[in-house]
Amino acid sequence: MLEGAKKDKGHVSPNWEFKYDLIDGVRLKDVRNIVTKNGITRELYRPDWKITEGTVQHMIHVTLNGKAVSAWHMHEIQTDHIFVLTGQVMLALFDDRENSPTRGKVNQFNLSPMRPTLIRIPPGLWHGLANMDNVPCSFINFFDRPYEYETPDEWRLPWNTTAIPFKFQPQY
């Protein structure tokens, strides 16, 4: 065995259900593609998935240029729900909430339409997204409250901050 080699931990069940060690409050739903005679259909959201608390109040569609990073940001009261439509997106989460049982924990997710996933990001988590490809990608983000134009619930740090123990790769 070569020095430094580490055995992989199992990350999927025999039924292809992923095993996640999630930050407290993060929820996700793997979604299935339905192949039809004329294309593909996929559900993006259903209330019986119990991903959201309350109701959906605002939705945006975002396009990120190739290799672009949108990080870091955090909301004190808003909950984000992200669903990738095109491309390959890496989502990183960092828990810095004072009373959280997972404070200091980082989650990383590689998201794409190939394995459709809806992910819930609760208030207080720092999060960032990176387009892992050279071409634009896109995602939908819907919220439990409308955007407040005069006093946005938006806190930001630069993508390369040393305050968060996660490093996005430099973009060229």
Q: pLDDT tens-digit profile of 41-73?
A: 888 888 899 888 888 999 999 999 999 999 999
- The torsion angle over the Cα atoms of residues 10, 35, 111 and 132, rounded to 10 degrees, is 120
Name the residue ranges covered by the structural domains of the chain. Answer: 28-145
From the list 11, 33, 22, 21, the residue with the least C-alpha distance to 117 is 33
CA distance 159 to 145: 25
CATH superfamily, domain at 28-145: Jelly Rolls (2.60.120.10)
Q: In this predicted model, what pLDDT tens digit does every residue of 72-96 receive, in sequence order?
A: 999 999 999 999 999 999 999 999 9
Give backbone dihedrals phi and psi of 87, rounded to 5 degrees, phi first. Answer: 85, -170
Look at residue 54 in the predicted model and tell me its pLDDT. 84
pTM: 0.86
